[in-house]
Amino acid sequence: MANEQAESRRISVSDIQGQKDGRPIVCLTAYSKPMAQWLDPHVDLLLVGDSLAMVIYGMETTRGVTLDAMINHGVAVMRGSEHACVIVDLPHGTYEDSPGQAYASASRVVEETGVQGVKLEGGTDMGATIKHLVDKGIPVLGHIGLLPQKAENRGGFKIQGKDDKGWKRVMADAEAVAGAGAFAMVIEGTIEALAREITETVSIPTIGIGASPACDGQILVTDDALGLFSDFTPKFVKRFAELGDEIERAAKAYAEEVHDRRFPGLEHCFGVAKQEKD
């Protein structure tokens, strides 16, 4: 019974930390209650990522999403999840100015959603902020390498670490994030050898996206993996399903049945003799 209870409790950030060099950490994004329900039994960590700006709201970058929107989606995901560690992204403009600004945003996220922690983008520039949040009891998932919130200022979505200067910069970011007390870090869009070396160097788990199979875990944007977002498909995405095609097929079938008056059938109607139970 004690074991069953241990098995059924929610995964904590310490559990995630304990998976360094162990069983790979399985992570996906989720933005809604139904998606969280489908994914929750199969993943260690659900990220309410600010990728929802592009994937759900059709914005051109991740920078347009507000803290209130992230909190609303965090609440929805928590309603659908009982097993995974759930983390919410701090959106652009809500944490970069000062550790105090970051704490005000992060504490709202944690208090209003009940999630286990927050993710924020940055390395050496965010060390003091990460330390401040961790000291005040808010677990932080770091995010280094390609930083979507800053991509516009850095010449677009470019793979990081290709030259010596870039390699050293990302390595310094990794050390800063780990040294500041983050419980794990996402490494996005780096050359494979750099992500591998970071994973071997830092004491906290690395979670790769376009990084390396050597990372301690992997994350994908769920809508990419399921074929629900087709505006573009980065090289690092594997499509595990084509649900967009399936939705189109269902919408076409529905339209045909309504046009042909085959839907609704009498079995979908109320007050039809003898068939009705409620």
Asked, as a colleague might, if the bond just before 264 is cis with ω within 30 of 0, I would say yes
Which residues here bind ligand KIV, judged by CB under 6 A? 29, 47, 49-51, 89, 143, 186, 188, 209, 219, 221
Q: Scan for tokens 């870039």, then name that residue.
A: 166
Tokens of 106: 């992060």
Q: Determine contact, residues 86/46, Cβ cutoff 8 Å.
A: yes
Distances (CA, A) of 223 to 31, 44, 98, 187: 10, 18, 33, 19
Task: Supply the minimum distance, in Å, between the C-beta of residue 146 and ligand KIV.
Answer: 9
CB nearer ligand KIV, residue 57 or residue 263: 57
Residue nearest to ligand KIV (CB): 49
127-135 helix and 99-113 helix, angle to the nearest 10 degrees: 50
276 is catalytic: no
Task: Supply the minimum distance, in Å, between the C-beta of residue 83 and ligand KIV.
Answer: 20
CB nearer ligand KIV, residue 51 or residue 190: 51
CB nearer ligand KIV, residue 85 or residue 259: 85
CB nearer ligand KIV, residue 56 or residue 243: 56
Find all residues with CB under 8 Å of 84, minimum gap 6, and list them. Answer: 10, 11, 36, 39, 40, 43, 44, 45, 46
Report the alpha-carbon distance of residue 29 to residue 38 in Å, rounded: 12
Task: Supply the minimum distance, in Å, between the C-beta of residue 52 and ligand KIV.
Answer: 7
Task: Supply the minimum distance, in Å, between the C-beta of residue 260 and ligand KIV.
Answer: 41
CB nearer ligand KIV, residue 2 or residue 105: 105
Report the alpha-carbon distance of residue 177 to residue 160 in Å, rounded: 17
Task: Supply the minimum distance, in Å, between the C-beta of residue 6 and ligand KIV.
Answer: 28
Q: Please pick, among 188, 246, 248, 267, the residue that the annotation labels catalytic.
A: 188
Residue 190: DSSP 8-state: B
| 57: alpha, beta or left? (left if phi > 0; alpha if psi -120 to 50) | alpha
Report the alpha-carbon distance of residue 110 to residue 133 in Å, rounded: 11
Report the alpha-carbon distance of residue 54 to residue 71 in Å, rounded: 17
* Catalytic residue set: 188
